[in-house]
Amino acid sequence: EDQVTQSPEALRLQEGESSSLNCSYTVSGLRGLFWYRQDPGKGPEFLFTLYSAGEEKEKERLKATLTKKESFLHITAPKPEDSATYLCAVQVNDYKLSFGAGTTVTVRA
Amino acid sequence: NAGVTQTPKFRILKIGQSMTLQCAQDMNHNYMYWYRQDPGMGLKLIYYSVGAGITDKGEVPNGYNVSRSTTEDFPLRLELAAPSQTSVYFCASIDRGGLAGEETQYFGPGTRLLVL
Dihedral (CA of A37, A49, A4, B86) sign: positive
SS3 content of chain A, % helix, strand, coil (to 5): 5, 60, 40
User: How sure is the predictor about B108, in pLDDT bands with cuts at 50, 70 and 90?
Assistant: very high
Distance CA B85, CA B38 (A): 10
A88 touches chain B (CB under 8 A): no
Nearest-Cα distance to chain B for A107, in Å, is: 20
Distance CA A73, CA A88 (A): 9
Nearest-Cα distance to chain A for B106, in Å, is: 7
A46 touches chain B (CB under 8 A): yes
In A, which residues are within 8 Å of B30 by CB distance? none
Whether B101 has a pLDDT exceeding 70, the answer reads no
Average pLDDT for residues A83-89, to the nearest whole number? 97
Asked if B107 and A97 come within 8 Å (Cβ–Cβ), the reply is no
- The partner residue sitting opposite A95, judged by closest CB among B31, B102, B109, is B31
User: How sure is the predictor about A13, in pLDDT bands with cuts at 50, 70 and 90?
Assistant: very high
Nearest-Cα distance to chain B for A81, in Å, is: 19
Dihedral (CA of A39, A73, A97, B31) sign: positive
Asked if B110 and A41 come within 8 Å (Cβ–Cβ), the reply is yes
List A residues 12-41 in contact with B (Cβ-Cβ < 8 A).
32, 34, 36, 41
Average pLDDT for residues B78-103, to the nearest whole number? 84
Q: What is the pLDDT of residue B98?
A: 54
User: How sure is the predictor about B97, in pLDDT bands with cuts at 50, 70 and 90?
Assistant: low
Average pLDDT for residues A72-78, to the nearest whole number? 97
Using CA coordinates, name the residue in chain A closest to B88: A41
In B, which residues are within 8 Å of A45 by CB distance? 107
Whether A10 has a pLDDT exceeding 60, the answer reads yes
Q: What is the pLDDT of residue A44?
A: 95
Specify the range with the lowest mean pLDDT, choosing from B12-16, B48-52, B108-112. B48-52
Query: E-strand spans in B1-116?
Result: 4-7, 10-13, 19-25, 31-37, 44-51, 54-57, 64-66, 76-78, 87-95, 104-107, 111-115
SS3 A70: strand
Check if the beta carbon of residue B21 is closer than 8 Å to that of residue B110: no
SS3 B99: helix
State the virtual CA torsion across B22, B88, B36, B2 in degrees, nearest 10.
40
Whether B7 has a pLDDT exceeding 80, the answer reads yes
Q: What percent of chain A has pLDDT over 70?
A: 100
Instruction: Give me chain B's average pLDDT, please.
Output: 92
Asked if A95 and B48 come within 8 Å (Cβ–Cβ), the reply is yes
| Strand-pair category, B87-95 with B111-115 | antiparallel
Q: What is the pLDDT of residue A74?
A: 98
What ranges in chain B are assigned the alpha helix state H? none
Distance CA B23, CA B73 (A): 6
Provide the CA A61 distance to its chain's centre, in angstroms.
Answer: 13
| Strand-pair category, A10-14 with A103-108 | parallel
User: Per-residue pLDDT tens for B27-56?
Assistant: 999 999 999 999 888 899 999 999 999 999
Whether B100 has a pLDDT exceeding 70, the answer reads no
